[in-house]
Amino acid sequence: MNSHQSLEQRNFDVIVIGGGAAGCATTYNLAIKGANVALLEKYDLNTQASGRNAGSLHGQIQFEPFHELGMKWARDFLPGLSFLASSLDLWKNLSAKLDTDLEVGGKGGLMVAQSASDLAALEVKVKLENEIGVASRLIDQKELRELAPYISQKMLGAAFCPIEGKANPLVTAPAFAARAREAGASIATGVEVFEISKENGKFKLQTNVGDFRAEKVVLTANAGLPKLAKSLGLELPISDVPVQVSVTEQVEKFVNHLIYFTTEKLTFKQANSGSLLIGGGWPARYDNSGEAVLNLDSLQSNLRVALTVCPSISKVKVIRTWIGVGNGTPDHNPIIGELPDAPGAYVGMYPYMGFTASPLLGEVLSDLVLNSTSKIDLKPFALTRF
């Protein structure tokens, strides 16, 4: 079904705005539960944060905010981490559920440390993760060599998180969308929502292709959320930073883990195709017209860090670097819930690691919309906390 065919109907039970993994997952969950639902996306499906990330499935506290923001922040983030862990459970059976090979795999995550002080910090971090049932553990240099012999011998040890892995971000949101369509959802791309208002008890959405109406609306368009929420009376502090990811030529499979480094930004893993994916949140830059473009300094730094951690890749060729999207919140926790001044309007976004969170976010948002309940305690993610 292409966009103009799916626009014949103008009134829906629910309209979801944002065609990334979270929006497509929400639309799928609403459709299979019988809702008359439409998904509106400004661009093409899966072309923003969901389709431009490197496919990491995260399940541990990230070291950079832990190091910079400290223990109080880490404790406050535990509900967000618990959300990721619950979503990772859903990933295990998602390929079968969506009848698509999402390339879910990997043997856990390794956050490697080069200094004794970072190793001590990892030990504290692991204890926090254990408190909420994530079975991370600290491993020494000897076990690190056994698990990942390609890691530099200068590394003293690592935090091992068994629930982490990877999936293919290019196929996940489209798979949710395809199954949603089969269940009766209308999906339209190239539709930009300018304003949302309440009219005669319904939401009216003004768009570039005319008006739509719905009993309820769900906002999942990460970078577009502040503007949309503002028209419904809520200020959302969501940051939008372009970041870079690089991919190499295909090489024989040797990396089975998601690799991080405590000293500098790095995510490093190997796709099923054999390509290495190198990222970690290094920033792109803006050109004179405001477009996000390649930052050569970031690329060089990212590759230098990757070589520090995995020296054997020095001969492997990088074939492409692309610009991803990093959407954040001040406390790194998600924003999930009903807008206080607009009953029937809901927001759902998970900062930085939204790809991992998307299967659970889709279930939670659909439960909120249809039943006003959630199996997850959403108080830590309240929209009013800022």
Taking the C-alpha atoms of residue 308 and residue 314, their distance in angstroms, rounded to an integer, is 10
Average pLDDT over residues 158-168: 96
Indicate the residue among 328, 357, 372 that finishes a domain: 328
**How many Cα atoms sit within 13 Å of 275 on the Cβ side?**
16
**How many Cα atoms sit within 13 Å of 123 on the Cβ side?**
10
The per-residue pLDDT for range 25-60, each reduced to its tens digit, is 999 999 999 999 999 999 888 776 555 677 899 999
* pLDDT above 70 as % of the chain: 97
Number of domains in the chain: 2
Average pLDDT over residues 268-286: 94
137 lies in the same domain as 243: yes
The per-residue pLDDT for range 65-112, each reduced to its tens digit, is 999 999 999 999 999 999 999 999 999 999 999 999 999 998 999 999
Indicate the residue among 292, 312, 328 that finishes a domain: 328
183 lies in the same domain as 251: no
The single-letter code of the amino acid at 146 is: E
273 lies in the same domain as 181: no
Q: Which residues pair with 212 in a beta bridge?
A: 205
92 lies in the same domain as 146: yes
Indicate the residue among 280, 299, 328 that finishes a domain: 328
380 lies in the same domain as 232: yes
* pLDDT above 90 as % of the chain: 87
Question: Can you list the positions of beta strands (E) in the chain?
Answer: 11-17, 37-41, 56-57, 109-113, 137-140, 157-161, 165-166, 186-189, 193-199, 202-207, 210-219, 239-250, 258-261, 267-270, 275-279, 285-286, 292-293, 318-328, 335-338, 345-349
Check residues 180 and 386 and name the one with the higher pLDDT: 180
Q: DSSP readout, 125-170?
A: HHHHHHHTT---EEEEHHHHHHH-TTS-TT--EEEEETT-EE--HH
pTM > 0.75 = yes
Q: Among 177, 174, 170, 204, which residue's Cα sits nearest to residue 6? A: 177
pLDDT of amino acid 52? 67
247 lies in the same domain as 214: no
pLDDT of amino acid 51? 56
218 lies in the same domain as 262: no
Taking the C-alpha atoms of residue 386 and residue 380, their distance in angstroms, rounded to an integer, is 11
The pLDDT confidence band at residue 236, using thresholds 50, 70 and 90, is very high
82-119 as b/e: b if 16+ CB within 10 A: bbbbbbbebbeebbeebebebbbebebbbbbbbeeebb
231 lies in the same domain as 247: no
Q: Give the range of the structural domain holding residue 335, as residue numbers without chain letter.
A: 5-52+170-238+331-385
Q: Which residue has the tokens 């405001």?
A: 290
Taking the C-alpha atoms of residue 150 and residue 223, their distance in angstroms, rounded to an integer, is 37
pLDDT of amino acid 40? 96
**How many Cα atoms sit within 13 Å of 303 on the Cβ side?**
18
The answer to whether the beta carbons of residues 164 and 58 sit under 8 Å apart is yes
324 lies in the same domain as 273: yes
Taking the C-alpha atoms of residue 314 and residue 318, their distance in angstroms, rounded to an integer, is 10
175 lies in the same domain as 266: no
Taking the C-alpha atoms of residue 103 and residue 131, their distance in angstroms, rounded to an integer, is 30
Q: Among 15, 60, 51, which residue's Cα sits nearest to residue 35? A: 15
67 lies in the same domain as 134: yes
302 lies in the same domain as 339: no
Taking the C-alpha atoms of residue 357 and residue 359, their distance in angstroms, rounded to an integer, is 6
What's 289's domain CATH number? 3.30.9.10
Quick one: how many helices (H) and strands (E) in the chain? Answer: 10, 20
What's 9's domain CATH number? 3.50.50.60
Taking all residues of the chain, what is their mean pLDDT, rounded to a whole number? 94
Q: DSSP readout, 173-184?
A: HHHHHHHHHHTT
